[in-house]
Structure 1
């Protein structure tokens, strides 16, 4: 089968890593795979990509005759059967795609990689609302939030109505999709989770090799990840657990602020590592902390679990309840009156840190969960069923 992934950009990011992982799995199972990006791909991503996968670039994100003609040429020359639109919200990619494939026997799948009722633009307005008490500004921001939600909902409906299948990443997103879009009977809405994108097939769990370490792994930003909460939580724990350390792996716009926060709090056992290969950290660390305000389906959870890292996660998004069974393969910290509570997170972390036997039990359950539900092979088999259904 000839499969094409449609991307906004082929950058270094979670969506792109998932795309590369799936593309290489499809190729290894005998499919032909092409990637089309609206913007210039990152050279690093191209270097890592299987050489059998060809990448084409359009002329920026716009609805234009040139983009349609260039895209149509790829569809025809590569004899594409299925297009996977990895950007299942804006209408422009879907509109370009549908014009380009007119008269061609091509099926389309749109994938939305976040919770249907939330995105960065909406969250930015919500943050601004929390930070102002001016009545006029609040009214203007409320209008802006309403407008963003209406635009997002309309775009999502358009993409859904112009795709053969529309994918969300969690069963809990189905009702959110219905409520947000107003589509009460979405007959071609399906659930398909993402695979673990790091290879843990040869990993053997050993508690003796695990450090007394908590890691945060990911982008360092305010809008979504709220990593300052990780530092606040560690400030409660550091003196109580002097033989443990906190390691922050990743980078982003808030890193300098966080480093200053660590200095201001006088914390001694915090390390900022920048962007690094995740596997050495997964192999050695005991606990992962995640304090995001919202998420879609965070890859870091299933990935860390495949190496016996126990996730302790703020339960601010519905997909986390699909992945983690509280006190079985990780810990979920419930919002308190709808808000993140530092002491509650510290309490849950302390429980895992103090109880080595329970920590090891959860670690081994986490490995079983990740291998059963999120291994690349199991996710590939699920995609094969989707392809077969679509091409019937």
Structure 2
């Protein structure tokens, strides 16, 4: 089989979950004898230590609706005899380009790496808040409050338009959690729901809980203002670092908000920013993993951390989180978006080694459900079903 992964940006596994999942699947598909290609919309400077397992190709322009891109794409698919296009941007507008294939023999699979509703459940947190202390901002906030019902209606309308297009132009819509079906039902009322298939993300790491742990909290992910919200973690840390001077906070990742957070962290102690890096050494040495996102799809970092015996905390703000974290058993789910409760649960783990170790062991057991072998088998079943 000739398999093409398409996405806006490159699949550097150190940059995020989508990228890491693609890297894992690519290497597994290659081992199975398949051919794999990457095609991306935007060229980015990649770290020198990143070596792609396959050739990376780029669209000639960075426009989704470019006629030049579409011509290039059709020729690329035919020249490389592509059997399957795996669209890793299934939730977003890039799909309009990635799903435009020249014939029906090329099968398309759109993966929803985020909840289909994205941040809709907590839209008020983003819209109905003061963005600065200027007088004009208070008037803008009042206007946003008045318009908020319309903002919500427009949001759902745009989601419906997107999913009508997606289901019409793709052969299979891959969700990462059964809980995402409820979200799809809110934005798609068509008769092609038989296209939905469930394949979770794989965890490539073998369970390893043997390394002695440092007194360390860990964040792994993009440092962005959107869904990830690592700024919340600094607020959480501000309540902890003086009370627990032997503990430190490690932040692995990068993004446009990093300089802002680094400036805020100067007023605190023992906060370390290490940029994009292989997270494995930090998983091995950390005791507690902190996720502070508004929403996710099926976040890879949770089972990855748990496979190394790192106990996770996350806000109970997206459906799939309960597939991974069983509250009070292998981690903690925090009511969205209570900083007070988050701090309280971290303190339980800091002050009780036995509870932390029991949860770590439960997490190691759980992640075995997401082995690469199991997930790749499900992908191959999907390939053969679509080719019938």
User: What range is the shorter-chain TM-score in?
Assistant: 0.7 to 0.9
Q: CA RMSD in A?
A: 2.7
User: Is the contact made by 1:352 and 1:358 (CA closer than 8 Å) also made in structure 2?
Assistant: yes
Structure 1's 42 and 171: CA in aligned 2 closer, same or farther, altered over 3 A? farther
What does residue range 187-336 of structure 1 map to in structure 2 within 5 Å?
A: 187-196=194-203, 199-201=204-206, 204-206=208-210, 209-264=212-267, 267-335=268-336
Q: How big is the shift at 1:227?
A: 2.0
Aligned length: 377
Aligned match of 2:143: 136
Cα distance in 2 for partners of 1:46, 1:82 equals 29
Alignment CA distance shift 1:149-1:287 (3 Å): same
Aligned pairs for 1:1-392 within 5 A: 1-10=1-10, 12=12, 13-14=15-16, 15-40=18-43, 42-44=45-47, 47-51=50-54, 53=55, 55-90=57-92, 93-94=95-96, 97-98=99-100, 100-102=101-103, 104-119=104-119, 127-131=126-130, 134=139, 135-140=142-147, 142-183=149-190, 186-196=193-203, 199-201=204-206, 204-206=208-210, 209-264=212-267, 267-335=268-336, 340-370=337-367, 372-392=368-388
With the length of structure 1 as denominator, give the TM-score of the two structures.
0.87
Change in 2 beyond 3 A, CA 1:69/1:273: closer
Question: Could you list the per-position Cα deviations for residues 205-257 of structure 1 after superposition, in whole angstroms to 9, with x for gaps in the alignment?
Answer: 226x1111111222223332222322222232334323222222223333333
User: 3-state SS of the aligned residue for 2:182?
Assistant: helix
Instruction: Report which stretch shifted further, 60-69 or 136-145.
Output: 136-145
Contact (CA 8 Å) 2:330, 2:360: kept in 1 or not?
yes
C-alpha displacement of 1:318: 1.1
Residues 300, 353 of structure 1: alpha-carbon distance in 2 compared, 3 angstrom cutoff: same
Instruction: Measure how far apart 1:142 and its partner are.
Output: 4.9
Q: Which is bigger in relative contact order (C-alpha 8 A, separation at least 6)?
A: 2
Shift of 1:277: 2.0
- For 2:313 and 2:184, the matched residues in 1 are separated by 27
The unaligned stretches of length 5 or more in structure 2 are 131-136
Cα distance between partner residues in 2 of 1:119 and 1:270: 28
Q: Contact 2:115 / 2:296 at 8 angstroms: preserved in 1?
A: yes
Comparing 347-356 with 215-224, greater Cα deviation is found at 215-224
Question: Secondary structure in 2 aligned to 1:187?
Answer: helix
Superposed displacement of residue 82, structure 1 = 1.3
Q: Distance in 2 between matches of 1:281 and 1:311?
A: 14
Is the Cα contact below 8 Å between 2:99 and 2:169 reproduced in 1?
no
| Deviation for aligned residue 1:268 | 2.6
Aligned partners of 1:299, 1:92: CA distance in 2, in Å?
22
Q: Gaps (5+ residues) in structure 1? A: none
What's the TM-score once normalised by structure 2's chain length?
A: 0.87
